A and B are shown apart, each in its own frame.
Chain A
């Protein structure tokens, strides 16, 4: 990963100083950034830094990457949280109705809504929301972020539309899995037994069904959390929010390689940890599933 970035063409010092720079100044900057050291040494320094929490300084701005990331997370974390919330609020009723009222009109409507939700990418939805709610109705801000300290209310308002765009699409995907899962539970023997004891369809489902249906859904939710993190990168660009995604793309455009490396590694690590936690939760919820399967 690091190697891929470091070996390939495009010397950062040259890019930073522009095409007008003299060879001498490029050399000086290369030395200042530590890029004249052997590659293994650069790599070792970088890994050592990651492990001890020193992420290094941006090649471009010279600011410590850690504080830049910290500022960005103040935007990205609430955004992902909001997306998750919206996603769950949408996914659960949509999936359950599509499964339970399978052969009724309402179930069909839920299924169709689901398909459409999956087909619309989050950034497209974001732009549609900007057109309708921001430009036509003037209800909510359509971009920018003033920061939590200036106006907490303004900050929340700025995150509502991005959160909805992020959540609806993820919710539609999770809703589809919930539908499958609830359907499977509905055709199970223990649910028929519950019905035979005199419970209504809904009572049986609430008391016995949902807990069983939740197990596979949990796995998907873990995967979707990874999807939300990636989706946030895109959505931040739609709504020009100064979060991790914007930081990442800026770094790519400026060839601020150390910043790109740090952010990519951070995101990949978070995704891996989330998947790992989901695996553990899976076995806790349903001990029948062996670790070998």
Chain B
């Protein structure tokens, strides 16, 4: 910087300011006159989603320190009990308290969701940034590779892993994480390309910032909202996929109380005790719905224009 003549420094300061304004416009912070927080409060879907997610997270935290009964403690004398004051949601085939198991299952669900989304983000986002920054042949290689992974469903990855190692929470998380990588790569790349074509990036480069600095100071902050929305939406898919895998016996192994597994086991008793299957089914559906609504809502909140675009 010190090598620049004073006049150029003045210009670069102005350009820097312009860069910040333009940056916040892309992130949608200043448009529409309201802050994103106010828009969130005025968006019923985002509110509902946020509340559901908050409750689910709260249940998981509470279950860490307290559940009505031990989620694994067996009491065969009370097996197949219906809902009562002692057991709000009844007991299962081993007399385990269903409410306690559902609460503990929340932990597994959130844990699996967080880890699989993070696996995908840690690999997918840098790949997307690299593709956007380099362009040309390297970008094509990254994108074709992403296409290839995209064509390979998470279920098949999980099947292969389970055939080798036996199904577990870890194999399920890895399978789901791998399947999500291309989504992050594509979203990051298209977002980054948009930011990189802006004038303020040119200004930043003219001021002597390196490519890495541009990525860190301008590109990443500006695509952060895109990434957060994508993470939330993928989280709901991860919950769904994890439930499906543990239902199939390719995920979390018994006796851990995963919702999918609870559903699978209680299905044998559908004719005699249909309620037992209903509870985990409801928990899965509500959690997926919550993250879905929150993700959709956040998209509208961060970027009001997307509402018109659908």
- Min CB–CB distance B240 → chain A (angstroms): 5
Chain A residues, Cβ within 8 Å of B152 = 268, 271
Interface contact B247-A226, CB-CB below 8 Å: no
Cα–Cα distance between A219 and B309 once the two chains are bound (Å)? 18
CB nearest neighbor in A for B310: A180
Is the CB of A237 closer than 8 A to any CB of chain B?
A: yes
Among residues of A, the one whose C-beta sits closest to the C-beta of B267 is A127
With A5-B164, A135-B274 already in contact, 12 other A-B pairs whose C-beta atoms are closer than 8 Å:
A8-B165, A118-B292, A120-B285, A124-B243, A127-B270, A128-B278, A130-B267, A131-B278, A184-B309, A252-B250, A260-B160, A275-B151
Q: Does A146 contact B (CB under 8 A)?
A: no
Please report A residues at the B interface, Cβ cutoff 8 Å: 1, 4-5, 8-10, 99, 115-116, 118-121, 123-124, 127-128, 130-131, 135, 142, 179-181, 183-184, 187, 226, 229-230, 233-234, 237-238, 248-249, 251-253, 255, 257, 260, 264, 267-268, 271-272, 275
Bound Cα distance from A234 to B165, whole angstroms: 20
Q: Are B163 and A255 in contact (CB under 8 A)?
A: yes
Q: Is B188 at the interface (CB under 8 A from chain A)? A: no
Assess whether A131 is in contact with B248, with CB atoms less than 8 Å apart: no
- Contact A252 B159, beta carbon cutoff 8 Å: yes
Bound-state CA distance A253–B167 (Å) is 10
| Interface size of B as a range | 35 or more
CB contacts (< 8 Å) of A251 on chain B: these are 163
Q: A253, B164: Cβ atoms under 8 Å?
A: no
In contact, A119 and B263 (Cβ under 8 angstroms): no
Which residue on A lies nearest to B291, using beta carbons?
A119
Residue numbers in B under 8 Å from A120 (CB-CB)? 285, 288
- Whether A119 lies near B281 (C-beta < 8 A) is no
Residue among B292, B309, B310 with max Cβ neighbours from chain A (10 Å): B310
CA distance A237 to B263 in the complex (A): 12
**Least Cβ distance of A268 to chain B in Å?**
6
Is B284 an interface position by the 8 A CB rule? yes
Residues of A within 8 A of B155 (CB): 230, 233-234
Would you call B151 and A226 a contact (CB within 8 A)?
A: yes
On whether A121 and B310 interact (CB within 8 A), knowing A8-B165, A115-B293, A127-B277, the answer reads no
- Residues in A neighbouring B159, C-beta threshold 8 A: 248-249, 252, 260, 264
Structural contact, A257 and B163, CB atoms closer than 8 A = yes
Which of B's residues lie within 8 Å of A, judged by CB? 151-153, 155-156, 159-160, 162-165, 236, 240, 243-244, 247-250, 263, 267, 270-271, 274, 277-278, 281, 284-286, 288-289, 292-293, 308-310
**Contact pick for A4, options B164, B281, B288, B292, CB 8 Å:** B164
Bound CA–CA A233/B244 (angstroms):
10
B88 to chain A, nearest CB (A): 20
Report the minimal beta-carbon distance from A286 to chain B, rounded to whole angstroms. 19
- Asked if A121 and B267 sit within 8 Å, CB to CB, the answer is no
Q: With a CB–CB cut-off of 8 A, which chain A residues contact B285?
A: 116, 119-121, 124
- Give, as a whole number of angstroms, the nearest-CB distance from A250 to chain B: 11
- Would B249 and A249 count as touching, CB distance under 8 A? yes
Determine if A123 and B156 form an interchain contact, defined as CB atoms under 8 angstroms apart: no
What chain A residues lie within 8 Å of B293 (beta carbons)? 115
A131 and B289 contact, CB distance less than 8 A: no
Q: Which residues of B contact A253 (CB under 8 A)?
A: 249
Asked whether B244 lies within 8 Å of A131 as measured between CB atoms, the reply is no
B270 contacts A8, CB within 8 Å? no
Residue of A nearest to B260 (CB): A123
Q: For the complex, what is the distance from the CA of A233 to the CA of B281, rounded to whole Å?
A: 19
Chain B residues with CB below 8 A from A226, complex form: 151, 153
Indicate which residue in B163, B263, B289, B310 contacts A115 across the interface (CB closer than 8 Å): B289
- How far apart are the CA atoms of A15 and B160 in the complex, in Å? 17
What's the Cα separation between A10 and B161 when bound, in Å? 13
Pull 16 A–B residue pairs with CB atoms less than 8 Å apart, ordered by A: A116-B285, A119-B289, A119-B292, A120-B285, A123-B244, A124-B285, A127-B263, A127-B277, A130-B267, A180-B310, A229-B153, A234-B248, A237-B247, A251-B163, A264-B160, A267-B156
